[in-house]
């Protein structure tokens, strides 16, 4: 068979979803398959023993690497990324960008990145009483 007639057969890999929760206290990377079955769930506390470093971008990078190793064992090659922050916060925590960058460096194809942070719409009364002198 001549070289020109050969068709390239792309090796199909599995697709997963990387749920990245970042607050200013912790970073959690949770990788699932498309049906929602958990493949890997790693948090900042599983990587470092210092509480103050759990939300650090460097620790977030190691969290994503550990989760990526487990996902590669199952055969996942591409990821949809969903970033979530604390409800009502303006922006995700400091580890979000580092975690995504680390996942792409591990060889995953990032299909899309979506911010799925919940937005409060009224809801219950905010915790904590009134401050100051009330007459």
Domain ranges of the chain: 14-115
Q: Which residues pair with 83 in a beta bridge?
A: 20, 115
Query: By the 8 A CB rule, do 43 and 28 touch?
Result: yes
Give the pLDDT of the chain (135 residues) as one tens digit per residue: 555 555 655 567 899 999 999 999 999 999 999 999 999 999 999 999 998 899 899 999 999 999 999 999 999 999 999 999 998 888 898 999 999 999 999 999 999 999 999 998 888 887 888 888 877
- The model's pTM: 0.81
Question: How much is the pLDDT for 6?
Answer: 57
Query: By the 8 A CB rule, do 111 and 17 touch?
Result: no
How far lies 17's CA from each of 39, 73, 77, 98, in Å?
Answer: 10, 15, 11, 17
14-115: CATH number: 3.30.420.80
């Amino acid at each position: 068979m001549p070289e020109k007639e050969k068709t390239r057969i792309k090796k199909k890999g599995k697709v997963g979803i990387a749920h990245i929760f970042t607050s200013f206290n912790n970073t959690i990377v949770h990788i699932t398959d498309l049906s929602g079955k958990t493949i890997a769930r790693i948090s900042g506390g599983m990587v470092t023993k210092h509480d103050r470093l759990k939300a650090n971008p460097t620790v977030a990078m190691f969290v994503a690497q550990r989760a990526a190793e487990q996902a590669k064992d199952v055969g996942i090659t591409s990821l949809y990324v969903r970033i979530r922050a604390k409800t009502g916060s303006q922006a995700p925590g400091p580890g979000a960008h580092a975690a995504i960058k680390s996942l792409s460096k591990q060889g995953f194809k990032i299909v899309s990145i979506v911010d799925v942070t919940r937005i409060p719409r009224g809801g219950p009364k905010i915790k904590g009483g009134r401050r100051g002198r009330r007459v």
